[in-house]
Structure 1
Amino acid sequence: MEDVAASADFKLGRHEPGAGMVAHRYANVYHREKGRLVIAPKRDQIGLFLALARQIDGPFRFVYVLLGPFGRYAEGRYELSVRLDHESLELLLDQFRLFFQGDARHHVFIGNDSPEPLLFYDQHDLIYAYGPAERYVPLLESQGLTPGVPEMPSPHSHHIRPEFDVVAEELLSGRDWKTGPLLESD
């Protein structure tokens, strides 16, 4: 997705004096925290998310977290009833890439059946990677990311783009989901 200014065509916005809310782009950095990496790519978050997923074993649990009610869907956690292999995960994420990267109504989790590794792409355009940092860091650096602390804009805004309503409906209606409530951590 291209950089946009003074438009609602972005997921995360920051306040720019004289221009209002504009697209926020991170500085292509990652930061080590206890037990995880916080990754702030400038663009193509889903591409990086998939590259990180290739570093871990499947099959994958896929959890879509809807942060607010939408149409006939309640806010909550939607976990696919089937596990996904790498190829199926790539197909799903590629199919909905623009939606996941361009709309802030959700988070996406993937992991296998062990507590780690776990990858989490949130509504702030950040990726959290739990697990094998020794595999993740060389990949991140090969993609041009450098050590640094992601700067969350303040104030900021989350954009839910109405043009993605039909895409959200397609994602949620076309699959078998196990549903549950939001967790406090969501």
Structure 2
Amino acid sequence: MLFKISDLENQTELRWNDLYQREEYPSFSRLRIGCKSKEIPLILEFCKEIGGEFGVLHVLLVSRLGKESGRYQSPYPLSYDELELFLYKHQDYFEQDGRQHLWVSSVLGKGQFIFDQHNFIYAYGPIDSFAAILKKNGFVEGQINISAPHCHHYHIEFDNDEDAVNNAFEWLYSPLRDGDDT
């Protein structure tokens, strides 16, 4: 299996041990989640919990195909079924290649999930409900930190997937913002 992030010195995959931690900020709270594997099914479980329609933001940091780096937003809201189809179709690319972040947001503001290139999921919204889902799935609360230095991998095996994601919608493009590449 390919992986998107590794320890720089040993080139061993960085994975998390099904942990989550609550992060409190002055204006919001969120969960930082580190999965052993299968982040896409977890995001979909959260989405099913909150229901409604969803927007997708594909933040392309690095393209191996010459596509311009930037934020690519779905042009219309997706039903849960459409979201599920899109995410499962491209699951391996999102989970195993480090060229992007994936954002999934409730169009009604019920929740937002950011799956970043460090294999973290950030969950915003009813975090107590999300924590209950995590506990049900065997996650435990604990500290999650990324080791430094580390490196991201952009695999040739996923070039067709990058192209397929780029062609999945007539994405609404905007440039990267400060902080998108961290």
User: What is aligned with 2:13?
Assistant: 23
TM norm structure 1: 0.89
Q: Which amino acid aligns with 1:24?
A: L
How big is the shift at 1:71?
Answer: 2.2
Counterpart CA distance in 1 for 2:109 and 2:47 is 15
How big is the shift at 1:154?
Answer: 1.4
Instruction: Go from structure 1 to structure 2 and tell me whether the alpha carbon gap of 1:96 and 1:29 turns closer, same or farther (over 3 Å shift).
Output: same
Q: Please give the residue correspondences for 1:1-186 in structure 2 after superposition, counting only pairs within 5 Å.
A: 9-15=2-8, 20-34=10-24, 35-186=29-180
Q: Which amino acid aligns with 2:117?
A: Q
How big is the shift at 1:116?
Answer: 5.0
Conservation of the 8 A alpha-carbon contact between 1:11 and 1:123: yes
SS at match of 1:54: helix
How big is the shift at 1:76?
Answer: 0.3
SS at match of 1:13: strand
SS at match of 2:22: strand
The ranges of structure 1 where at least 4 consecutive aligned residues each deviate by more than 6 angstroms after the TM superposition are none
How big is the shift at 1:151?
Answer: 2.4
1:71-91 per-residue CA deviation (whole Å, 9 max, x = no partner) reads 242000001111111111110
Aligned length: 176
SS at match of 1:23: coil
Deviates more, 1:46-55 or 1:85-94: 46-55
Conservation of the 8 A alpha-carbon contact between 2:52 and 2:106: yes
User: What is aligned with 1:5?
Assistant: none
Percent sequence identity over aligned pairs: 32
Superposed CA RMSD: 1.4
How big is the shift at 1:182?
Answer: 0.7
Q: Which amino acid aligns with 1:128?
A: Y
Unaligned residue ranges in structure 2 (runs of 5+) = none
